[in-house]
Structure formats: C-alpha cells, structure tokens
Amino acid sequence: MPNKITTLKEIAQRLNFSVSTVSRALHNHPSIGLRTTAQVQKLAKELNYEPNQSALLFKQQKTNTIGVILPNLKEEFFSEAINGIEDVAKQNKYSVLIGQSHDDVEQEKQIINAMKNQRVDGLVISISKHTKNYEHLIAVESYNIPIVFFDRVPELSNINKVSSDISEGTRQAVEFLIQNGHKRIGVINGPAEMKSCMERTNAYMEALQKKRIKIDLSLIATTDLTQEKTCQAMEELLNLKHPPTAILTINDYVALDAIQYARKAKLKINKDICFVSYANLPITNYVEFPPLASVEQFPYQQAKKAAEIVFELLKRQKKTEGKPMFKNIIIEGKLVIHKK
Amino acid sequence: MPNKITTLKEIAQRLNFSVSTVSRALHNHPSIGLRTTAQVQKLAKELNYEPNQSALLFKQQKTNTIGVILPNLKEEFFSEAINGIEDVAKQNKYSVLIGQSHDDVEQEKQIINAMKNQRVDGLVISISKHTKNYEHLIAVESYNIPIVFFDRVPELSNINKVSSDISEGTRQAVEFLIQNGHKRIGVINGPAEMKSCMERTNAYMEALQKKRIKIDLSLIATTDLTQEKTCQAMEELLNLKHPPTAILTINDYVALDAIQYARKAKLKINKDICFVSYANLPITNYVEFPPLASVEQFPYQQAKKAAEIVFELLKRQKKTEGKPMFKNIIIEGKLVIHKK
DNA sequence: CTGTTAGCGCATTCAT
DNA sequence: ATGAATGCGCTAACAG
C-alpha cells in the first residue's frame, strides 16, 4: 500500500496548528515556541515528512537543477567532466540534468529548448563540434538562465567560459620531442574550425621556429576524428619523402588509431615513430603502446570550474547586483610524460 | 535585458480574455470560438509562450522526469545504457536525471533519497556491487515511484527487472574454446555475491561436463575488478602445475588487465593463451590484443527495455488498474567472435 | 508566539 | 462561448 506522502497540512491538522506554524517550526523559526517546535519536528520525523520539491520549486521559481549539455558521454573526457559538475552541484544541493548532443546541432537546439522549458536554473555546455551559430545559446541567457561554456567554447567575448589553452602544452610537447632527437614532427590535427586546433598549429610552429627547425606544412594532416580519416592522415604522413619520426595527435582516440596504423605498417612504436597526444585518458592504460606523453587538459577541473561559475552567477542574480560578469577562465594544458 | 517569460495571465490581459479562456484556447478546447482560439494562439506564438513546467508539474503532481542510478558513467557499458534510457525518455517527453553511486552503498542511498524528494516519476537502477540490503530501494515504491532494475539486479521476485542471462553465452564461449582445442579453461570471475558470477561459474561447469572435461576448481579465480586483484588472479592461474590455455574473464576491463599481465609473462596471446570476455566494449577496438570473443550483454537494449517498463508502470498507475505487474525480462547474452 | 491570507501558474469545475 | 473560482503545497507578509 502506498505510503501516503505527508504534507504540512497533514501535520498541522494532527497537531491542531496552522500550516504556517508548522512550516516555521520545521525551519526553526525563532518566533515559534520551543515546545511547539519540538512537537512539530517530532511528528514530522515520525511521518517521514519531506517537503514537496515540486511545490517548493514552483513557489521559489527555481528548479534546483542545472543542465549539462555535452557532445558525448562515451568519451571519457566528458564522463570525467560530469563528475566535476556533479560534485559542485551536490555541494549546492542541486541536481544535474544531462543531455547529449551527439555533435549534432539540431539535437543541441532541442535539448537546450527542453532545458529552457524545464527551467533549469543554469546551464553548463560544451558545444557540438559543428555549432557555428550561437543564437540558440545566447537566447537562453535572455531568459535569465546563466550559461557557462567549457572546453568547446564559442569565440565570443561577452560570455562565461572555461577552456584549456593547449598552446603551452603543445610547446612543451614539441620541445620534449626535439630534446629526444626528433627533427621531423608531424601533426594530426582536427577540423580547423575548432579553436584548439588553431592553437595547436600555431604553438607547434612557434615551438619549431624557436628551435630553428624548418617548418614543413606537409607534416600537418587533419582528421575529423573518425578512424577512417585518421588512417588517411597517417597514410599521407608516412608516404612523405621524409616521413615524421614523431607525431602529435589531437586526442587519445586518434592517437590509438594512428598507432594501430603505424603498427600495421610495421613501424616500431617509440623506435621508428613516437606519438604524443592530448587528453591523457584512462583508456591509454589498457593499451600496449600508449602515446609517449600527453597534454593533460583537466576535464574534471574545467567542468568543476564551469559549474562553480554557474553558481556564482546564480548568487549574483539573486542580489540583482551590479554589472554583468564575464569570466574567461583558461586552464593551461600541461605535458605529462608517461612512465612505463 | 531579460526576455520576460510569458504566462497565461500576460496573454489574457493583452487580449482582454480570462486566463481560463486562454488556457482552453491553447489546448484547442472545442468550446472556445475559432476566432478567439486563433487570436490567442497567434499571440502566444509571438510572445514565445511556453507553459511553466514547474507549475504544471506541481499541479499534475508529477515531474516528467525519470531518475537513473548506476554505478559509474565511465564504464562504457553504462554510458551505452544511458542512451537506451534517453531514447525512450525522449519519446515520452521525459527528462533523465542521472546519478552515479560509484559502487558505494551510502551514495546510492543518498541519491535515491534525493530523487525521491525530487519526486522523479520513476526510477531505473543498476545497483552498486556491494548492495545487499534492498530496503532503501523498495521504500521508493511505497511512494508510488515505480522502480525497474537492470543489469545488476537484486534477487527478489516481486520486482521489475531486466537483466542478461550469461549462462547461454558462457556455454557458447566454453564450447567455442573447446572446439578450438582448449582443454584447460580458466575463469577470472567477480565477487560471488554478484548473481552473474554464479551464472558464469555454473554455466562454465555445465558446459565442461557436457563435453566430458574434468572440472578443476583451481582453474577458477576471482577478482574484485581492480587491476591489482586481477593480476593476482592471473598469477594464481599461471602458476598452476597445468596452467590454463584459455581464460574467461568477467568483463573487458579485466580482460585487458589480464592480457597485459600475460604479455608481461612473455606469453603469446592467442597462441600460448586465449581470452574470452564479457561485454564487448568499444574500448577493445583500440587494443592490439583484444579478447578472441566476447559474450555481448546488450546494454543499450537492456536499459531501453527497463525504461519502457517504467513507462508501462506509469501508465498503469494512472489507470489505477488491477494487479501489480512484475516483469522479469531476461536478455540472453550471445557470444560474438571478433574478426581480425 | 501563532493564525490568517495571499499568491506562485495552471487546468478545471461550476456558473453564466 | 466565456468568466470566476478553486486548489495543488508551500512560504512569507501581515495581523493580531
């Protein structure tokens, strides 16, 4: 038999108090008598009273929920990121609503709309790799729902965002390779639209120049992150007259595909050819030839910071405080050299 | 400037109708004049009216949200499962609230409590591997929140659950190995509490008996799924007088750890020793020596089915229909032999 | 110290 | 065909 859900009214009737007295007693309001308070709280406990969230949310015009939209939970980067957001949410007694765009702009729009209608109190989002138009995102803000971008962020200035700058990490990676004797360093980069890809190319070139190594554009290949394109990129690189002896790959999944390709081409990993990658995902623990080193991008920290900004914005909007806030937090990627 | 959120009242005032007329017009209520209806709908569209979900939920005493609790999003099995639930939820215009227990009973309780207070309309859960006591789970049902278990399910009869039976898959796996000439087949199983582990052991023994192969209990090792314990298990197995030539491992992560261990022990994979595993996760695409075959457990389908049952239960409770329903769906694991 | 009242947004029942 | 009134559970302003 369904346990009847206890309401304030229920308690009030049993105790012959008014609903408001009961409400206040439960909140330890100072103006309520000690005895009354004790009585009410005792009965509430007995009846297992829990405030009806829907009613609360309705009344307070907020949902105690933040939405998170990201491309894909299957990527460890993002499932790791979720943990950062969950932790901050938990601290603030918030729930997390998760949506996956699967890198599809239409789905992204739908999810955002759904979340807007659900009246999430705030939004953390890592945009799909094809999102070029940000109207549907900005629209959300005009409904007083703060939105914070992380990792895959739009290139706009009046927004709050947390992203990682991989320039420094890339420089470290290139220098690391040069120190280990490499002169021809290839790159398998992602689609040029992605900001991080520009950063990668630029930092790569800078680092080479600094070390007086000639830049050879044919060493820069691209992939759309599918295995197929990655193999194509590898093919291009390996077929060069002077193929690279080391390759920077945009992320670990691409690195693993590339390494597989190299092995099939009978190259000895870490001997004929070395790999350095970005992300440093746990998955690389399971493979025999992981990349030599990775530029760690700190998904947990990025996401956590983004969530924290959401809550800061929420607090501010309560106080209807002064000027808007636009944080642009950049977390520097750092090269991590794998032991083994 | 924040776009003021449109309410029925707003529309009513502008058009000089009553709130109820507007409400009905928006619902195409037959008793409202055509002109009025058109007028209202037009303005609603212009003002971008969207019903306030919180109010609706409050009024209707439901949240249009189902909760999902699972051990860990980082495991591909579960992030794949989420997709099954999301898809069903989307069809039903429901949102999905996700919580991770991280295989911790206390966290599981907390999350359940939070979800109960949030008044999720239903719950899909895969219990933590240490959960032995199901009171906190059953309690939820008494609040009229249907709960459906999947994959890691309690051994109770009056509940709804979807799980995979790996017996048949295990038999297939053992037969497959026997056909390939193996006579000493080891097992690295999980904690005996887990129902699937019992199934595995039993099916393994049955299959051997059927093929008249003597059972040797020392071939059965266990792990708690950590790399450390898995290596210990491997050590035990490999140190036997007659070590196994093939090993069944409880899941892909364990398989990968075990394979790594075997390689370090200078064994040739697929020659000196073969592996067959459970789950068949994408991760195995990235490793050089994946298991020879896997017993596929269909996370997407399991989770999808579980979500469907939740919605079936929700419909039933609306109709306050007859007897309770207790579904016990079992999806048979099937052996998938990897090409390569 | 406690009770009464109003109101959040909406669907709905009851009047007209 | 339309409006007025009600209530969902709760908090808080106001009134004693």
Q: How distant is C1' of D4 from CA of B21, in Å?
A: 11
Give A51 CA → D9 C1' in Å.
8
Q: How many residues does chain A have?
A: 340
- A chain contacts of residue B287, beta-carbon cutoff 8 Å: 286-288
pLDDT for B1 equals: 45
Please say whether the beta carbons of B64 and B120 come within 8 A: no
Chain B 76-115 residues whose Cβ is under 7 Å from strand C:
none
Q: Residue A339 is which amino acid?
A: K
Contact B73 A79 (CB under 8 A): yes
Model pLDDT for residues A144-162, shown as the tens digit of each residue: 889 999 999 998 889 999 9
Distance B94 CA to D1 C1' (A): 35
pLDDT at B321: 58
Q: Using CB atoms, which residue from B53, B74, B143 is nearest to A118?
A: B53
User: Is the CB of A74 less than 8 angstroms away from the CB of B80?
Assistant: yes
Query: B198: which 2 tokens?
Result: 């019992």
pLDDT at B161: 96
Contact B144 A79 (CB under 8 A): no
Chain B CB contacts of A79 under 8 Å are 73-74, 79
* Rounded Cα–Cα distance for residues A264 and A268 (Å): 10
The predicted structure's pLDDT at residue B3: 62
**B63 at A interface, C-beta within 8 A:** yes
CATH topology of domain B64-164+299-333: Rossmann fold (3.40.50)
Q: Which nucleotide is nearest to A31 (CA to C1')?
A: C1
CB contacts < 8 A (A, B) = 102
- The domain made up of B166-296 has a fold known as Rossmann fold (3.40.50)
Contact criterion met (CB below 8 Å) for A188 and A258:
yes
Residue A225 tokens read as: 């992150």
Measured CA to CA, the distance from residue B119 to residue A55 in angstroms comes to 11
CA distances from A279 to A186, A233, A245, A288, B257 (A): 18, 20, 21, 18, 21
Place of tokens 């308690």: A11
Amino acid A80 reads E
Confidence of residue B190 (pLDDT cuts 50, 70, 90): very high
Average pLDDT over residues B42-61: 87
Binned at pLDDT 50, 70 and 90, residue A284 comes out as confident
pLDDT at A1: 45
Percent of the residues in chain B that have a pLDDT greater than 70, as a whole number:
97
Q: Where are the beta strands (DSSP E) in chain B?
A: 65-70, 95-100, 122-125, 147-150, 160-165, 185-189, 220-222, 246-249, 274-279, 293-296, 328-332, 334-337
CA-CA distances (angstroms) from residue B42 to B14, B56, B83, B274? 12, 22, 37, 68
CB B70 within 8 A of CB B32: no
* A residues 141-170 closer than 8 Å to B (CB): 142-144
The reply to whether the CB atom of residue B51 sits less than 7 A from any atom in nucleic acid chain C is: yes
CB of A324 within 7 Å of some strand D atom: no
Residue B340 pLDDT grade (very low, low, confident, very high; cuts 50, 70, 90): low
Q: What is the mean pLDDT of residues B171-182?
A: 96
pLDDT tens profile B270-314:
999 999 999 878 888 778 788 999 999 999 999 999 999 999 998
A65 CB neighbours in chain B (<8 A) are 97
And the tokens for B228?
A: 């450390």
Q: How far is A72 from chain B (nearest CA, A)?
A: 9
Does A100 reach chain B within 8 Å, measured CB to CB? Answer: yes
User: Is the CB of B60 within 7 Å of strand D?
Assistant: no
Annotate B143-160 with b (16+ C-beta within 10 A) or e (fewer): bebbbbbbbbbbeeeebb
Tokens of B145: 């929140």
Q: Is the pLDDT at B35 greater than 50, yes or no?
A: yes
CB–CB contact B82 A97 (8 Å): no
CB-based contact A308:A160 (threshold 8 Å): no
Give residue A322's pLDDT.
62
> Which nucleotides of strand C come closer than 7 angstroms to any CB of the protein?
1-5, 7-13
Give mean pLDDT, residues A275-300.
Answer: 88
Please list every residue in chain A whose beta carbon sits closer than 8 Å to the beta carbon of residue B286: 253, 256-257, 260, 283, 286-287
Question: Are A64-164+299-333 and A166-296 in the same CATH fold?
Answer: yes
Residue in chain A lying closest to B67 (CA): A97
Q: Which residue is nearest to nucleotide C5 (CA to C1')?
A: A20
Measured between alpha carbons, how far is B154 from B133 in angstroms, rounded to an integer? 9
CA–CA separation, A136 and A145 (whole Å): 13
Q: Hey, are the CB atoms on B288 and A287 less than 8 Å from each other?
A: yes
Residues of A in Cβ contact (< 8 Å) with B52: 119
Q: Do B97 and A100 touch (CB under 8 A)?
A: no
Rounded CA separation B56/B65 (Å): 13
Within 8 A of B116 by CB-CB distance, chain A residues are 50
Nearest chain B Cα distance for residue A162, angstroms: 22
pLDDT at A321: 58
pLDDT at A67: 93
Chain B contact for A74, CB < 8 A? yes
Q: Which of A95, A119, A283 is nearest residue B97 as measured by Cβ atoms?
A: A95
Residue ranges of A 173-212 with Cβ closer than 8 A to chain B: none
Q: Tokens in use for A12?
A: 């009030």
Q: How many CA atoms lie within 13 A of B73 on its CB side?
A: 23
CA distance B50 to chain A (A): 7
What is the torsion angle, in degrees rounded to the nearest 10, for the CA atoms of residue B217, residue B221, residue B222 and residue B225? -150
Average pLDDT over residues B228-243: 96
C-alpha to C-alpha distance for A297 and A335, rounded to whole angstroms = 9
Distance of CA A131 to the CA centre of its chain: 16
Handedness of CA B152, B155, B160, B166 (dihedral sign): positive
pLDDT single digits (tens) B83-115? 999 999 989 888 888 899 999 999 999 888 888
Domain boundaries, chain A: 8-51, 64-164+299-333, 166-296
A270/B contact by beta carbon, under 8 A: no
Q: Is the CB of B52 under 7 A from strand C?
A: yes
User: Using the CB atom, is residue B326 less than 7 Å from strand D?
Assistant: no
Q: Which residues in chain A touch residue B289, judged by CB atoms under 8 angstroms apart?
A: 288
Strands B95-100 and B147-150, by their bridges, are unpaired
Distance CA(A279)–CA(A22), nearest Å, equals: 53
B20 Cβ contact partners less than 8 Å away, ≥ 6 residues apart: none
- Tens of pLDDT along A23-60? 999 999 898 988 999 999 999 998 888 888 889 888 88
Mutate: best of B83, B93, B95, B284, partner A, most A CBs <10 A: B95
Residues of A in contact with B283 (CB under 8 A): 283, 286
Distance of CA B256 to the CA centre of its chain: 22
Beta strand B293-296 pairing with B334-337: antiparallel
Question: What whole-number percentage of chain A has pLDDT above 90?
Answer: 63
pLDDT in tens, A85-136: 999 998 988 888 889 999 999 999 988 888 887 778 999 999 998 888 888 8
**Nucleotide in closest CA–C1' contact with A24:** D11
Rounded-to-integer distance, Cα B65 and Cα B57, Å: 10
Which nt has its C1' nearest the CA of B8?
A: C9
Smallest Cβ distance to A57: which of B54, B86, B257? Answer: B54
Please provide the average confidence, as pLDDT, over all residues in chain A.
90
| Res. A2: pLDDT tops 70 | no
Which of B52, B73, B114 has the CB atom closest to A73's CB atom?
B73
- Inform me whether the pLDDT recorded for A309 exceeds 80: yes
